[in-house]
Chain A
Amino acid sequence: MSKKLLLANDHIPGINTLEVYRQHGGYKALEKALKSMKPDDIVEEVKKSGLRGRGGAGFPTGMKWSFLAKPEGVPRYLVCNADESEPGTFKDRYLMERIPHLLIEGMIVSSYALGANTSYIYVRGEYFYIIKILQKAIKEAYAAGLLGKNILGSGYDLDLYVQPGGGAYICGEETALLESLEGKRGNPRIKPPFPAVAGLWGCPTVVNNVETIAAVVPIVNISGDEYAKIGIGKSTGTKLISASGHINKPGVYEIELGVPVEEFIYSDEYCGGIRNGKKLKAVVAGGSSVPILPTELILKTAKGEPRLMSYESLGDGGFATGTMLGSGGFIVMDEDTSVVKNLFTFARFYHHESCGQCSPCREGTGWMEKILQKFIDGKATMSDIDLLWDVQSKIEGKTICPLGEAAAWPVAAAIRHFRHEFEEYVNRPESIHDVKHYFRLNNIEEA
């Protein structure tokens, strides 16, 4: 069994309540932090742990924390990014639904470490039932003296609030999230200044993903050094993976970083292999933004080494033959899946979600969707493949925020590894049939 630090108790009935959470060691990290650690000690432990941002970018959390400006008399804020919207990703939702107090404990410990007295959890609006779960758990925490004034007699005060989003992927970008939290359109800000200097209402702010903040709890409990021993190389600790698509056991799995991809897909402990005895065709390993890889490159690196679930191994080979761990949104496609059609759903997504601020992204995402629509309709020509390549290449690096890259990378990777499939759409449009997966999966005769 893989080591579990976040979801070890997720199956226990009532673990969503304060009482049961405490019975299983909950809020021990908070007691330890407030009673025996200075704020900077916690920052130091997080640095030692090697924890990297679990939202997708993988930036070292301790370093991000150490950038926080601390001018006299100016409030600081911790904002939790629970705007989980990257297609293929649903781990934060699972964590908040099952063990809301783990996030709340992480928020209190992290806020203490950063010297914040007011913190917010920004949750995507569609997760409304999650918002209710969090609000209930926060109420319990206030009643037990874990939030509010003088927490556990330490003299430390913290107010914690939940803020709903309005249904915008872009608000997962931290400066867009802050704009949204200020009651504005979710347009990303030009950086610098970074939020660590001028964030929420112009004050120094740290924005961290749900899983990142939750991971601070075990780090405080077992120490940064012990946490760093888990995992492989610079990919320390555990990671929540959202597994979906054509697999026998879709769901959220906590893995120790370094598990072989092949084991993750085929082992009964995780995905349990491909549905209906089909063969694997391709995987999008880290959420819709990361490059798709065909079977031979997702299971092994170009050098022939087994590919591992870690930041380094998934990135091995760069974008030519590798991909990224990203948010851990692991989308598995069987041999019957149209890579072109799946890409079309991504392109439609990014076009819908572009905030419209930068022309390359606003216009480019629309062009990519339209060109891919031509393929789907059987009306594309060979030059459309080159046009598609050309459009994606003109977005990357030319926008304020990384949504541009996120939209361009999947297009580039699909053409790089599956050009033959685009050509097939051009050469034999009559062979295109939109596979009716539902009927196939449920063994229903087509009408």
Chain B
Amino acid sequence: MTTTEIQFSQEAQQKVQEILNQYPKEKSKSALLPLLHLAQAEFDGWLSVPVMDYVASILKIQPIEVYEVASFYTMFNLQPVGKYLIEVCQTSSCWMCGAEDIVRYLEQKLGVPTGEISADGMFQVKTVECLGSCGTAPMFQIGDQYYENLTFEKIDAILEELKQENKRSRYC
């Protein structure tokens, strides 16, 4: 896809306007992070170069201004991701309460190592740093949802439900 073929849906375009209204007129670059979240949700959960160029064109800024920001923040994926990106917290309290076992269990269950997308394109496990869920450890996040106080049984049920649902997880 080239930039000219990329366009937000009607709903997303409306959201872009709402977001732009949050800042003084000449400060529209402030909309960059919200717009990247929106773009990621619209275009398969990751930001390709043409998608980033599209965002640059909306904000009338140079593409490099988008690339340097997208590559700085952990939440922006610059490579394709699984339909469900399972982000397992591995810091301190989560580690203490078994995060490594959660990762191992997911790897076994899905049959792919951390970082890789499962053969059916459905799942991808990623380890991440503290998600602010230390009191409900161990946990992972899928899209905008937190799954907390995890046990192997709970994970089985969550994966089953997601397979049934078969929708892309999204933050926006």
- Please indicate the chain B residues that have their CB under 8 angstroms from the CB of A129 in the complex: 144-146
A434 touches B100 (CB 8 A): yes
- Decide: A185 and B130 in contact? CB cutoff 8 A: no
| Structural contact, A126 and B75, CB atoms closer than 8 A | yes
Whether the pair B96, A246 counts as a contact (CB closer than 8 A) is yes
Interface flags for B33-61 (1: CB within 8 Å of A; 0: not) read 11011000000000000000000000100
Contact of A341 with B95 at beta-carbon distance under 8 Å, contacts A126-B141, A244-B134, A442-B151 already known: yes
A166 B31 Cβ-Cβ under 8 A: no
The CA-CA distance from A434 to B31 in the complex, in Å, is 45
Interface string of A234-253 (1 = CB under 8 A from B): 00000000111110001110
- A334-367 interface (Cβ within 8 A of B): 337, 341-342, 345-346, 348-349, 352-353, 355
Number of contact residues on A: which range applies?
Answer: 35 or more
- Judge whether B8 is part of the interface by a CB distance below 8 angstroms: no
**Could you tell me the distance between the alpha carbons of A437 and B59 in the complex, rounded to whole angstroms?**
49
Q: How far is the CB of A271 from chain B (nearest CB, A)?
A: 10
The reply to whether A126 and B132 form a contact with Cβ atoms under 8 Å apart is: yes
Flag whether A186 is at the interface (Cβ < 8 A): yes
Instruction: Name A428-447 residues within 8 Å CB distance of B.
Output: 434, 436-439, 441-442
Binary A-proximity of B103-146 (CB < 8 A = 1, otherwise 0): 00000000000000000000000000111111111100101111
A266 at the interface (CB under 8 A from B): no
| Given A87-B134, A126-B131, A166-B75: A244 in contact with B30 (beta carbons within 8 A) | no
C-alpha gap A243/B136 in the complex (Å):
10
Residues of A participating in the B interface, judged by any CB pair closer than 8 Å: 84-90, 93, 120, 124-129, 132, 161, 163-169, 180-186, 201, 242-246, 250-252, 284, 288, 329, 331, 333, 337, 341-342, 345-346, 348-349, 352-353, 355, 434, 436-439, 441-442
Give residues in B with beta carbon < 8 Å to A: 22, 24, 27, 29-34, 36-37, 59, 65, 68-69, 72-76, 90-93, 95-98, 100-102, 129-138, 141, 143-146, 151, 171-172
Selected A-B contacts with CB under 8 Å, 11 pairs: A87-B92, A89-B132, A126-B131, A129-B146, A183-B29, A183-B69, A288-B130, A331-B134, A342-B92, A342-B96, A441-B97
